[in-house]
């Protein structure tokens, strides 16, 4: 199944790590949502990798405390 979401920019691995570090320490929800969009491909690859998929909430803990990051249709 192909994803319907296409982020406007694809980040390098280093840029993704910087964005992840930023999200861990920021309380700016709008900035976090933007960084989440930018790290979409990185997260998708994590989810598809059986060795990394169970770590998604450890690497991206903001899914647990910011409303609207996960929307159920």
pLDDT digits (tens, 9 = 90+) for 15-59: 999 999 999 999 999 999 999 999 999 999 999 999 999 999 999
In a domain? residue 3: no
In a domain? residue 45: yes
The pLDDT value given to residue 73:
39
Domain interval for residue 24: 13-64
In a domain? residue 52: yes
In a domain? residue 33: yes
Who's near 29: CB < 8 A, 6+ residues apart? 66
Number of domains in the chain: 1
Region 2-9: mean pLDDT is: 58
In a domain? residue 8: no
**pLDDT above 50: residue 13:** yes
- DSSP secondary structure, 38-58, as one string: HTHHHHHHHHH-TTTGGGHHH
Rg value, the chain, Cα: 12
In a domain? residue 24: yes
Distances (CA, A) of 58 to 37, 43, 53: 18, 12, 10
């Amino acid at each position: 199944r192909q994803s319907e979401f296409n982020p406007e920019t694809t980040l390098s691995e280093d840029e993704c790590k910087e964005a992840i570090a930023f999200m861990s320490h920021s309380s700016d929800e709008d900035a976090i949502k933007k960084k989440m969009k930018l790290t979409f491909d990185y997260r998708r690859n994590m989810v598809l990798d059986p060795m990394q998929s169970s770590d998604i909430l450890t690497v991206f803990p903001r899914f647990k405390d910011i409303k609207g990051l996960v929307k159920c249709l």
